[in-house]
Amino acid sequence: MNPQGIDSRLLELLGRASSLELFQLNAVIERMLADPKRIVQVRKNLHLGQTVRFMDWRDGRMRTGKVVAMKDTQVTIQEDSTRSSWAVPYTAVEPPTAGATQPIEPEQPPPVLATRNDFRCGEKVNFEDKHFNTVVGTIVRINQRTATIDPGDGTSWRVGFALLRHVIDI
Q: What is the CATH number of the domain that holds 88?
A: 2.30.30.140
Is residue 111 one of the residues assigned to a domain? no
Is residue 61 one of the residues assigned to a domain? yes
Closest C-alpha among 47, 81, 82 to residue 67: 47
Q: How do residues 5-58 score in pLDDT, each as one tens digit?
A: 667 888 888 888 888 988 888 888 888 877 888 778 788 878 888 888 888 877
Whether 77 and 161 map to the same domain: the answer is no
- Chosen domain end from 43, 72, 100: 100
Q: How do residues 101-136 score in pLDDT, each as one tens digit?
A: 455 566 677 778 889 999 999 999 999 998 889 999
Q: What is the DSSP letter of 11?
A: H
Whether 46 and 93 map to the same domain: the answer is yes
- Chosen domain end from 100, 125, 152: 100
The total of structural domains in the chain comes to: 2
Is residue 151 one of the residues assigned to a domain? yes
Domain residues for 155? 116-166
Is residue 71 one of the residues assigned to a domain? yes
Whether 35 and 81 map to the same domain: the answer is yes
- Region of 127 (left: φ > 0; alpha: ψ -120 to 50; beta: rest) is beta
Residue that wins the pLDDT comparison between 103 and 74: 74
Q: Are 126 and 138 contacting, i.e. CB atoms less than 8 angstroms apart? A: no
- Chosen domain end from 100, 128, 145: 100
What is residue 104's predicted lDDT score, i.e. its pLDDT? 55
Is residue 109 one of the residues assigned to a domain? no
pLDDT beyond 60 at 3: no
Whether 50 and 93 map to the same domain: the answer is yes
Is residue 1 one of the residues assigned to a domain? no
Whether 45 and 14 map to the same domain: the answer is yes
Whether 129 and 96 map to the same domain: the answer is no
Whether 129 and 83 map to the same domain: the answer is no
β-strand partners of 74? 89
β-strand partners of 137? 125
